[in-house]
Amino acid sequence: MDKRRLWEAVRPYVMILPAMAGIILFVIYPVLYLVKLSFYKYNLLNASRSKFIGLDNFTQIFTRGDFYSALINTVVYTVGVVLLTLILSLLIAVWLSRKSRFNAVVQAGISIVSIALVWMWMMEPSYGLLNFLLKSLGLPTSQWLQSSRTAMMSIIIVSVWQGIGYYTLIIVAALQSIPPSIYEAAALDNAGKFKMFYKITLPLISPQLFFILIIMTIGSFKVFDTVKIMTGGGPNNATTTLVYYIYEFRTTSIGYASATGVVLMAIIALLTFVYFRLLARKVHYQ
C-alpha cells in the first residue's frame, strides 16, 4: 500500500518532468547563461580566454547610435504592426462574424493565405504586380524595398498581412461565443449598432483582445525572418530591428550580442508589465 501512495505522490512530477526539463534546459538556463555572457568579452576561438568586463557591454549599448536606431526601428515596426493588425482584424472579424457559409469561406481563404503561406509575401518580386496596378491607376510607382522610407512600410504591410488571418480567426471565434440573446435584449433597449459594439461586443471580447495585444507585441519585437529575406536590414539599416542587430553581432561580439539580448528581454518584460498594469482593469473576465 505504501508503495502505491509513494507512486501517486511522485507521479505528477514524473509527468511534468520531460516538459520541465526541456524548459529549464533550453529556456531558463540559456537566459541565465545569456545574462552571464553579457558581462564578458567572449573569445570564440578560446572560450577560457574570455574577459570579464562587467557592465562595459551595456554602456556600449546605451551609447551607440546604431543600437538606438535599431530600437527605434523596432518600436516603429511594432506600433505599426500591432495597431494595423488589431484594427483590421477586428473590423474584418465583425464583418465576417455572422454565421454563414460564405463568411466561413472568406474567413478560411484569408487565414490559409496569411497563416500558411507566410513565405510567399516575403518573396514577392519587388512588388512588380503592385507597381503595375499603381501605374494603371495613374499613381506614381515606388521602389518599395529600395528606398529607406518605404522599406519599413513594406515590411509592416507584409507582417500585417501575415498576422490578420490568425487573429481574425481568434476574434471571430470569440464573437460567435457571445449569446445572441444579449444583442436581442440590447435591441429591445433601443441600442444602435455602434452602441452595441462599444458597450457589449468590445467588453465581451476584451480578454481575447488583450491576449492578442500581448502576443503581437512580443512577436513584433522579435521580428527577423521578414527583415532578413526582404531587405537584409537595409537600405542603410533602415529596417534593422533589434533581433537583426543581435544577429549581426552573433559571431563577432558574442558578449555584446548577449547584452543586447538581455536588453531585449527586459524591454519585453517591461512592456508586458505595463500592459497588465494599464489594461487589466478594463478587461472583463467572466
Considering only residues 68 through 127, tell me which ones interact with other proteins, judged by CB under 8 A.
Answer: 92, 95-96, 98, 100-103, 105-106, 108-121, 123-126
DSSP bridge pairs for 41: 51
Question: What CA–CA distance (Å, rounded) separates 190 from 180?
Answer: 16
β-pair type (51-52, 40-41): antiparallel
Least distance from other proteins to the Cβ atom of residue 32, Å: 8
Contact segment (CB under 8 A) with other proteins among 57-65, 71-79, 147-155, 257-265 equals: 257-265
The answer to whether residues 222 and 261 touch, using CB atoms and an 8 Å cutoff, is no
The smaller minimum CB distance to other proteins, of residues 219 and 237, is found at: 219
Q: Taking CB under 8 A as the criterion, which residues in 197-256 touch other proteins? A: 199-200, 203-204, 206-208, 211, 218, 222, 224-225, 228-229, 243, 246-247, 250, 254
Residue closer to other proteins by CB (options 191, 279) is 191
* Spatial distance between the Cα atoms of 280 and 214, rounded to a whole number of angstroms: 12
Q: Which among 119, 158, 123, 151 has a CA at the least distance from the CA of 239?
A: 151
**Minimum CB distance to other proteins, residue 238 (Å):** 18
Q: What is the DSSP letter of 39?
A: T
Which CB sits closer to other proteins, 49 or 195? 195
Among 6, 11, 87, 149, binds other proteins (CB under 8 A): 11
Q: Does 49 sit near other proteins (CB under 8 A)? A: no
Cβ–Cβ < 8 Å for 262, 67: no
Q: Cis omega before residue 235 (within 30°)?
A: yes
Which residue, 152 or 259, is less far from other proteins as judged by CB?
259
